[in-house]
A and B are shown apart, each in its own frame.
Chain A
Amino acid sequence: MNNNVKNVSLFSLICFLLNFTLLQIILDLPLFYAKAAKSAVVLLSIYNFILVLLFMILLCKLYKKFIGFNILDICNYILGNVGQKILTIFFSLILFGYNIIFLREISEACKIILFTDTPLMYIIIFYGLAMILCTSSGLEGIIRASEYIVTISIVLILIIFLLSLPFLRLQRLFPILGSGISEILTKGSLNIAAYSGVPLLLLLSKYIKNIKEYKKLSFIYTIVSFVIITITVAIIIMSFGYSYIASDLFSLYEVSKSTNLSTIFQRTEIIYIIPLLLSTFLFLVSIFTGLSMCLNHVLNLPETYIKDKKVFFRNLIILIIIIVLSNIPSNIYIIFDIRKFFSIYLFLPATFILPLILLLWANIKAKKDRSSYEKFINNNC
């Protein structure tokens, strides 16, 4: 099996990152946008884009000296081995938590929308099977598969949008400032979590050869995500209006359910089902692989080490724990609350604040102590 990810194209990497944004669009991103900005979802999307763009500019500037290293290596440079281990454990815990939350949430979504009579445990186990199987196929395979999955998903979502065109009413975007500028600026800033491919940029930077390519990947991902998010929230608000979306869990599904292709093809929601299954599958596989890589790091194994049977059994035990824990919350609302807590108090600081602090620190250290920087570069090269 191939253990490296150096042979994947930029397109595959962009698709891999985009899937993280796509998953939220397929699930409940429009709901959170509508709750934060009411009818001003487009404005909120632009605001979030500006925030992420500024973050990306800063990130690319700070990464200049450390290209070829991920955030864990940088932590090793400034805090030493112990610091690196602590940060890796911290990231592992976040990924472990997200595995539990999303495995349950995605399975619940599938049960509500698709497999009404199938027991939840059955759906969770099937996803679990896919996670363990695909993780052992390596990161490269997953990134390559995302090329197909994300392309298919985006095309199908665009078809849903095209079918919904007759329902669109521009006036539903009014009042133009929605919940008000101050509310958008404060509450709305939390919605940058929609750009959930960003943390991958911090981890995948290890496999990117030069800063130019890293910049390209960061900016293309940000811009394409912005376009997809803006089109989605605008179309969904123009189709249904804020008051409906603010209480609707799967608004993209609602849009697909409300459309039809003449009187012959009336069950167009099948168009939604395919991206739902594919994108959620890829997402779960990706975060489980991420967890496996982080654990390898903690155990001093190569990050993409997957050949070993011990690693497989370790992953299997972790997966069983994840499956058991994801079954504990008695209802979906508890999962939503946990996810909100994770997103605000762990994901956002760990993605947008902590890396900037670490990179800034690393840059200052590199400037002050040139010899240690050169030593670090040479050792890792």
Chain B
Amino acid sequence: MKNLSIIIVSALIIIFSLGSYDNIELNQYAYVVSIGIDKSQINPNNISVTFEFVVPIQINSESNNGNSSSTKTTTIEAPTIHSAISLTNTYISKELNLAHNKVVIFSEEIAYDGLDKYLEAISNDKNFRANMYMIVSKCSAKDYIEHTHPSLEKNPAKFYELLLSAYKYTGFASRSLFLTFILSARSYYSEPVVALANISTKEKKQTNNDILDVSSTYNISKPNDANFYAGEMNKIGGSETEIMGLAAFNGSKLIGELTGEETIYYLLTTNAFKSSYFTIYDPFDVSNIISFNLIQVNKSKIDVDLINGAPFITVNCPLSAILYSVNPKTDYSNEENIARLEHNLENVLQTGMKSYLYKTSRTFQSDISGFGRYAATKVATWDKWESLNWENLYRYSYFKVNIDVDIKRSGIVFIE
């Protein structure tokens, strides 16, 4: 027992004594919640890094009347992220701590040039968390951070957490973690995407008539739920910034963007879709619209075959739908009508998904849905997989989409 005690005490010495060397008081740190990375406007070899750090006293203060922000920002020009951290530490009186950083924002401009060097720097630093979020901003990252004012949540970390997990019930963005990005960027069979953000460009409109302006990307075949990019939302009030759609990459280079609606198809093909409201024209009266809550109950079944050297990708996607706004003149309890409605909804979704898939293969030439994973199951070894050259082959893909919608019920009101 005595010997055992010696060993246990020695283990405890190791655990508790070593840490005492680099211990630091909590209030000696400035906790960063978001980092924005832009191209430098002064020196092309530099980057402009914006740090948003919390002012803990403002978060805890009961008397916060909304005038004082719970965060402060600072922007600095430096050759790398780490030199920016170092330089910032010289003037903020506290040491920047990145352990609680929630989001890293890259401007669209810098993302088009490729994010390789930043990814390596971030993933090599143990202080950055792999499960922090990542965003590409159509405006500068600095502007995005400065225009983001959490109004319903005092805690900025929680604000970002909630904002970036809203995709679960909107379907207009994806779970855009730094880890998933880097895994896909380094992977041989899928390409990364991240959430797309912007300052609301139509924010200044003040009248309800302005809200009806749908000049951006109005889609005539379908009522416009979210067929636009971040920044194009017609809205008054709320946050000055918005997250809508995805930025699609090839490796670490940005190659294009997806609208909110296309993002739903991305989520469906990657089995990350939870639910979303979806609107179509009423097949019984085209002047009316019908809205559904689409829910993915079972996973999409994906099969990849190689026919004459080109990938033939089949996507079978079972969905459930709950009927919400409807035309009161139509009897939806009639099975025939329900079947027609289902068929119509399936057609709209199939057309939309095909358009999304061909956009990724022909326009982006980037397998963001990760069909390569399924193709890899068809070959035995890595040598064969590499000789297949999936990255190049994907652009020749053909798609067959089967969407099976099952309208389960209406909402609370019995629709007849």
Contact = CB atoms under 8 A, between A and B. Distances in A.
Nearest to B179: A258
A198 interface: no
Contacts of B186: 241, 243-244, 247
Interface stretch (B197-205, B234-242, B382-390): B382-390
B329 interface: no
A110 B186 CA distance: 27
Contacts of B393: none
B126 A116 contact: yes
Interface in B376-416: 376-377, 379-385
A112 B126 contact: yes
B3 A138 contact: yes
Interface in A125-157: 126-127, 129-130, 133-134, 136-138, 140-142, 144-145, 148-149
Nearest to A122: B21
A171 B373 contact: yes
Contacts of B21: 115, 117-119, 122
Given A145-B4, A171-B374, A244-B182, A263 B161 contact: yes
B376 A130 contact: no
A285 interface: yes
B131 interface: yes
Interface stretch (A177-185, A314-322, A366-374): A177-185
A178 B385 CA distance: 10
A179 to B, nearest CB: 6
Contacts of A169: 373
A117 B127 CA distance: 13
A2 interface: yes
A263 B13 CA distance: 32
A278 interface: yes
Contact of A281 (B2, B11, B179): B11
A113 B376 contact: no
Given A1-B3, A122-B18, A171 B126 contact: no
B188 interface: yes
B376 A129 contact: no
Contacts of A266: 129, 131
Contacts of A110: 18
Contact of B381 (A122, A180, A247): A180
Contacts of B183: 240-241, 244
A175 B4 contact: no
A175 B11 contact: no
A114 interface: yes
A115 B376 contact: no
B197 to A, nearest CB: 21
Given A180-B381, A241-B187, A243-B188, A129 B15 contact: no
A305 to B, nearest CB: 15
Contacts of B4: 137, 141, 144-145
Nearest to A254: B130
Contacts of B129: 257, 266
Contacts of A115: 18-19, 21-22
A211 to B, nearest CB: 29
Given A175-B385, A244-B187, A113 B126 contact: yes
A363 to B, nearest CB: 37
Contacts of B126: 112-113, 116, 257
A118 B18 contact: yes
Contact of B7 (A116, A141, A258, A259): A141
A326 B130 CA distance: 32
Interface in A275-305: 277-278, 281-282, 285
A141 B187 contact: no
A239 B21 CA distance: 34
B22 A145 contact: no
A172 interface: yes
Given A179-B381, A180-B381, A285 B22 contact: no
Given A122-B21, A141-B4, A258-B179, A130 B130 contact: no
B220 interface: no
Interface in A5-60: 38-39
A112 B183 CA distance: 22
Nearest to A119: B21
Interface of A: 1-2, 38-39, 110, 112-119, 122-123, 126-127, 129-130, 133-134, 136-138, 140-142, 144-145, 148-149, 169, 171-172, 174-180, 240-244, 247, 254, 257-260, 263, 266-267, 274, 277-278, 281-282, 285
16 contacts: A116-B22, A126-B13, A133-B10, A141-B3, A148-B8, A171-B373, A177-B380, A243-B187, A254-B130, A258-B131, A266-B129, A266-B131, A277-B11, A277-B15, A281-B10, A281-B14
Interface of B: 2-4, 6-8, 10-11, 13-15, 17-19, 21-22, 99, 126, 129-131, 158, 161, 179, 182-183, 186-189, 373-374, 376-377, 379-385
Given A115-B18, A115-B21, A141-B7, 9 more contacts: A118-B21, A118-B22, A134-B7, A169-B373, A175-B384, A175-B385, A243-B186, A258-B179, A260-B131
List the 6 shortest-distance A-B pairs measured between CB atoms, nearest first. A141-B3, A117-B22, A171-B373, A137-B3, A145-B7, A118-B21
